Amino acid sequence: MPELVFFSGTMDCGKSTLALQIGHNRSARGLQGVIFTRDDRAGEGKLSSRLGLVTDAVEAAPGMDLHAYLVDQLSKGGRVDYVIVDEAQFLASEQIDQLARVVDDLGLDVFAFGITTDFRTKLFPGSQRLIELADRIETLQVEAMCWCGARATHNARTVGGEMVVEGEQVVVGDVNGPAAEVGYEVLCRRHHRRRMTSISAHAGALSPDVLPVASD
């Protein structure tokens, strides 16, 4: 039976790498798929991994009907055996509904990859709808790590290395971007609550101790 599967995890845990691997394995068996993505770090119409692997994809723009796109491809004689969706958290709720229709009406497996919560620990609409509709939810076993060595569970947005908790929900950045720009860092819950990034923790460790005050 075809399924809608949601692979979730924090940033930097290998979601895009797994998406590319699933596509490669099916392609090696003679199957043909359609890859959708949104706002990939490599640019429009690309699916990329931090390991340096990149492939072409269809940019799932806001307002695009993903079900209708696939129906059009099939009606023109195209072959579609499966669907991969990366950065699925950025999709609108109705686009997730369309992916469910792809499974139910077209009989195609849909593999969606994304993070569940944003830098404010709030669910992305796309991820929320996937949790509600997916036949199966898989948490990636490759654990990202906080700077302290603990398992990273939260995504933090940084500006100049300092964690921020306000702003637009979607701002494209990367965990390896320059510190002066908008970037992201994965943290454990404790350090996310304390807004303590690797840069701020390092600065704190380098701060001189307070000198004792001599008493008269």
Active site residues: 87
Secondary structure, 3-state, the chain? CCCEEEEECCCCCCHHHHHHHHHHHHHHCCCCEEEEECCCCCCCCEEECCCCCEEECEECCCCCCHHHHHHHHHHCCCCCCEEEECCHHHCCHHHHHHHHHHHHHHCCEEEEEECCECCCCCECHHHHHHHHHCCEEEECCCCCECCCCCECCEEEEEECCEEECCCCCCCCCCCCCCCCCEEEEEECHHHHHCCCCHHHHHHHHHCCCCCCCCCC
